[in-house]
């Protein structure tokens, strides 16, 4: 079992919890994901963070930015400024499956993203 957590976020992986071995959590909520869902979340968040890194030098200090990405079963958004951002994710699989909306505030979004990348490696 792998478990990482910080203020406002938690990430755990337990292979014996098939078909949902990954637990993601924020303030007051938690959800289990399949490995495929977690990998897709990691890939999408990675792409948004890379877009943010490419644009950050073009932003003025007081300027805000919001980036969105829809890929597969995930809709993702980061919203913030040059220094930090909050992360919102919505899982919308097939109608017969569960759905999920999650949010990590600015203080938790960065550390959660790093932990997710460390769990699976960078895309």
What's the pLDDT at 120? 81
What's the pLDDT at 14? 96
Joined together, the tokens standing for residue 30 give 């938690």
Q: Which of 84, 66, 83 shows the shortest CA–CA distance to 75?
A: 66
CATH code for the structural domain at 2-120: 2.30.31.10
What's the pLDDT at 123? 66
Walk along the chain (123 residues) and give the pLDDT tens digit of each residue. Answer: 899 999 999 999 999 999 999 999 999 999 999 999 999 999 999 999 999 999 988 888 888 999 999 999 999 999 999 889 999 999 998 888 889 999 999 999 999 999 999 998 776
What's the pLDDT at 59? 86
User: How is the chain split into domains, by residue range?
Assistant: 2-120
End-to-end CA distance of the chain: 22
Rounded CA separation 106/98 (Å): 26
- Check if the beta carbon of residue 7 is closer than 8 Å to that of residue 107: yes
């Amino acid at each position: 079992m792998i478990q990482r957590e910080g203020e406002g976020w938690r990430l755990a992986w337990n292979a014996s919890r098939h078909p949902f071995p990954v637990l993601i959590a924020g303030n007051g909520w938690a959800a289990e994901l399949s490995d495929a869902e977690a990998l897709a979340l990691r890939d999408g968040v990675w792409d948004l963070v890379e877009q943010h890194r490419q644009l950050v030098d073009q932003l003025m200090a007081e300027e805000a930015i919001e980036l969105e990405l829809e890929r597969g079963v995930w809709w993702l958004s980061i919203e913030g400024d040059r220094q930090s951002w909050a992360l919102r994710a919505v899982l919308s699989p097939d109608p017969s499956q569960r759905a999920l909306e999650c949010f990590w505030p600015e203080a938790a979004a960065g550390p959660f993203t790093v932990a997710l990348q460390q769990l699976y490696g960078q895309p």
